[in-house]
Amino acid sequence: MTIDDRAEEILESLWVGTEEMGREEVSLDDLGIKEEDKALQNLISQGYVSRDNDKVALLKEGRDEAEGTVRRHRLAERLLVDILDVKGELVNESACKFEHLLKKGIDDKICTLLGHPKLCPHEKQIPPGICCKETRESGVKLVSPLTGLKPEQSGSIAYLASRDSKKIKKLMSMGVLPGNRITLVSGFPSYVFQIGYSQFAVDREMAQNIYVRVEGEGRS
């Protein structure tokens, strides 16, 4: 049971349409395909999707497969932006090709390399894989938002997740920059962290945007 790249794209769009945008089904127009499309026929015959006139719905059997493709696409984007420093339109273009190379198992390896990121560069959720669930259960978090740290836990700042440039500027003015060491001093009622010899207090919304590569377990 294999599906080709084109079919993966269809699954991806369907997943985004149904899971993230909350629709029941997606029209052929929105998917940008024709009724007689081969990839679509293939997906229907494998029992992944169903078609009712011009509406296509994602079936239970196809959901996992679709989620996997979305996961691979977004992981690819993170890899391209964070590690390979690719910019602009190129990110999406390359990610579309890249994702098809991240076959079963490789995506988890990339995911681990990146520290099980939760969001893609466009701030969309990356569906968690088995590797993410395992690390969460074993309590080892590689990259976590500051809000996930325990008091006294430190690490180095991995990236800032906000797209709001005002928030980013505020964070940067406090020395919250990738590479800097950060220690969570207190997590309630607001978040207090230390960078260098300075301590800062921020609210949850700001703290959530700071992703930290955690170094060790702090005292609980």
Partner 1 sequence: MSIFRAAGGAGCHGAGTARLQERENTATLKDMKKIAIVGNPNVGKSVIFNSLTGAYVNVSNYPGTTVEVSRGKGRFGDAGYEVIDTPGMYSLLPITEEERVAREFIMEEKPDIVLHVVDAKNPGRMLPLTLQLIEAGLPVILDINIIDEAERVGLEIDTRRLEEELTIPVVATSGISGKGMDELKRRISEYKAGKAISIAYNETIEKCIKEIEDQLKGEYIFSRRAIGLLLLQEDPEILEIVEERERTIERIKEIISKIKSVHANPFHFSITMRRQAVAGEMLKHILKSRRPDRVSFQEKLNRMMINPVTGIPILLVAVYFGLYQFVGVFGAGTLVDFLEEVLFGEYINPFFIWVFESIIPWPVIQDLFVGEYGILTLGLRYAVAIILPIVGTFFISFSILEDTGYFPRLAMLVDRLFKKIGLNGRAIIPMVLGFGCDTMATMVTRTLETKRERVLATLLLALAIPCSAQLGVILAILSAKPLALLLWAAVVTLVFLLTGFLAARLMPGERPDFYMELPPLRLPKLTNVLAKTVSRMQWYLMEVIPLFLLASVLIWAGRLIGLFQLVIRGMEPLVKIIGLPEDTALVFLFGFFRRDYGAAGLYDLQQEGLLSGNQLVIAAVTLTLFVPCIAQFSMMLKERGLKTTLGIILFIFPFAFLMGFLLNILFSFLGVQL
| Closest listed residue to residue 214, CA positions, set 118, 149, 168 | 149
Whether the ω angle into residue 127 lies within 30 degrees of 0, i.e. cis, is no
Buried residues in 46-79 as b, exposed as e (16+ CB within 10 A): bebbeeeeeebbbeeebbebbbbbbbbbbbbbbb
Q: Contact positions toward partner 1, by CB under 8 A?
A: 81, 86-91, 121, 160, 165-175, 177-180, 185-186, 188-190, 192, 195-203, 205-206
Nearer to partner 1, 27 or 199 (CB): 199
How far the first Cα of the chain sits from its last, in Å, is 48
In the complex, least distance from residue 73 CB atom to partner 1, rounded to whole angstroms: 16
How far apart CA 51 and CA 55 sit, in angstroms, is 6
| C-beta of 88 vs 216, nearer to partner 1 | 88
CB of 97 to partner 1, least distance (A): 17
Q: How far is the CB of 169 from partner 1 (least distance, A)?
A: 5
Complex with partner 1: residue 7 or 120, whichever CB lies closer: 120
Question: Which of 8, 82 has the CB closer to partner 1?
Answer: 82
- Quote the least distance from Cβ 110 to partner 1, whole Å: 19
Give the chain's radius of gyration (CA, Å).
Answer: 20
Considering the complex, state which of residue 90 and residue 106 has its C-beta at the smaller distance from partner 1. 90
Determine contact, residues 33/27, Cβ cutoff 8 Å.
Answer: no
Shortest spacing between CB 12 and partner 1, in angstroms: 21
**Nearest partner of 209 among 150, 151, 165, judged by Cα:** 165
